[in-house]
A and B are shown apart, each in its own frame.
Chain A
Amino acid sequence: MTDKKQQKKEQIMLASLGLFASKGFYNTTIPDIALSLKMSVGNMYNYFKSKDLLAKEIIKFVSSYFGKKIRAINEENISTKEKTRKIVEIYFQTAIVKPEMLDYFLRIYLSTREVFKDGCEGMICVNDFVTEIMIYFEEGVKCGDLRDQDFFNAFGLFMGYLGGMVFLQGENVLPKKLNEYVDDVSDNIYKALSA
């Protein structure tokens, strides 16, 4: 794929994310997306053959976005405690700056499984992200900072907590701003996971 085509695809995905967040996934059609980008519907189909395919590409895109951010953290020469804080920070930061990304992940990917069952089995479409979390865990245990335990046990604690906070923020029930929770939340996570 040419860079130009890739750029266009990303543009479409970003626009879709915005529409999904405001209108809802089912209420958004391909013509809606084309219209928002001032593209012809026919041209849209050159990039994505269907809305389901677009949906899958978007989750990969989101996963890859987080994957790259966490990878950069993983590659820093810092303690697991600091890494934990940075991952939490990135996550909350994204929720604030690009709420539609996390909204997509939490409200669409996780709850609209019938769209993703074919082609996004297991964690395939979020592999980039999960791989980096795995590396963060594995290295944390190896260097003695984190306690060895079942992966999903730790993963559930980490992601469930973050997802929950972002959800509460989305419902406007948090008394403080989300980024003010970074220290406490990362502290709690680290305490729960540390050796």
Chain B
Amino acid sequence: MKKKVRILWLGLITCNGNTHSFLNYTHLEQFFNDFEFIYHPIIDSEYSLEDIISQDVACDILLIEGAIADDFIKADVLGIDIIKKYSNIVSKIVTVGTCATFGGIFKESHYKNVSGLHFREEKRTEKYNHLFEKTISISGCPIHPETLVSTLYAIKKGLDLKLDSYLRPKEYFAYTVHNGCTRNEYFEYKVDHHHFGELEGCMFYDHGCQGPLTHGSCNKILWNEINSKTRAGLPCMGCTEPSFPKQNLFSTKKNMGIPEFLPVGVNKRVYLTLAGITKAFKIDRLQKKLFDD
């Protein structure tokens, strides 16, 4: 029997959303041929959580789900003590989800020093610096299952993954969520009226869509294989980013009608110049309903 890669999936301050998103991976059977969980929050494993805590179980990859805090206790021990122990045993650490990477929603919980493993929002937390080289971040609330699984395979194969400054694989996080959105043309041509409940229109102008300023592959590798939030008509909430969740998520922050946050790397002058030009033209096709005669 071939040796499987051993994974510890450790859940801390979490809703388990990543655990369940992982279960949506379409080739799980294949995955279990190559990997085994020494512990997982819901999948049966060789060891119990009590075993994991009381013993030093051999393990290759530590997955951390949920925000990390100095005083968060799991099964009577400090969560950070479990991290400390297993981070020495494993060769790689993957922070699974935005909470484990940046603090996410639960950075606002009342625990002490709540953060992701290496970041609290954009800021580096120095505490686990010695683990920085070992870590890969898969952000997202929740993670996209393929993003996680393929990264685990990359680790297994020893591939040299290119990472961004937050340790996220560029393969998935060099894109913006805007890439591949079916509502793209309404953005490109500045057709700025959008109403919820319609196939047409872009949520960037009024309804807070952060697609053009969020790193992620949501519209490249679809969710549940079929759709994405923006395609469905729900604004991108920027859930892969350090700032998640921002405030007033359903409305676009504007100053005198000009969006404060612009597409990644696009200078305001450039954006406004292009917007001014495209807005001058009325494109009938984009003014009409898609299925109009």
Q: Which residues from chain A sit less than 8 Å from chain B, CB to CB?
A: 71, 121-124, 127-128, 130-132, 134-135, 137-142, 146, 148-152, 154
Contact = CB atoms under 8 A, between A and B. Distances in A.
Contacts of B281: 121-122
B255 A122 contact: no
B255 A127 contact: no
A131 B276 contact: yes
Interface of B: 254-258, 260, 268-269, 272-273, 276-277, 279-281
Contacts of A131: 269, 272-273, 276
B206 to A, nearest CB: 13
A172 B279 CA distance: 38
Given A121-B280, A122-B281, 15 more contacts: A71-B269, A122-B279, A122-B280, A124-B277, A128-B273, A132-B269, A135-B268, A135-B269, A137-B255, A137-B256, A138-B258, A142-B260, A148-B254, A150-B256, A151-B258
Contacts of A123: 276, 279-280
Nearest to A146: B256
Given A121-B281, A122-B281, A138-B260, A148 B255 contact: yes
A156 to B, nearest CB: 12
Given A122-B281, A135-B269, A138-B268, A130 B276 contact: yes
A127 B277 CA distance: 7
Nearest to A151: B257
Contacts of A140: 255-256
Contacts of B258: 134, 137-138, 151
A139 B255 CA distance: 8
A151 B268 contact: no
Nearest to A153: B256
Given A134-B272, A135-B272, A138-B268, A148 B277 contact: no
Contacts of B276: 122-124, 127, 130-131
A141 B268 CA distance: 15
A194 B257 CA distance: 16
A27 B115 CA distance: 72
A130 B272 CA distance: 9
6 contacts: A122-B279, A122-B280, A131-B272, A131-B273, A135-B268, A138-B268
A173 B260 CA distance: 42
Contacts of A154: 256
B229 to A, nearest CB: 27
B273 A148 contact: no
Given A122-B281, A123-B280, A127-B276, A138 B256 contact: yes
Nearest to A143: B255
A155 to B, nearest CB: 8
A160 to B, nearest CB: 16
The 10 closest A-B pairs by CB, nearest first: A122-B280, A141-B255, A151-B257, A121-B280, A137-B256, A127-B276, A138-B258, A124-B280, A131-B272, A138-B255
A152 B260 CA distance: 17
Contact of B273 (A122, A127, A150): A127
A131 B277 CA distance: 10
A149 to B, nearest CB: 6
A124 B257 CA distance: 18
Contacts of B273: 127-128, 131
Nearest to B276: A127
Nearest to A150: B257
B256 A151 contact: yes
A146 B255 CA distance: 9
A166 to B, nearest CB: 23
Contacts of A127: 273, 276-277
A71 B270 CA distance: 13
A171 B103 CA distance: 64
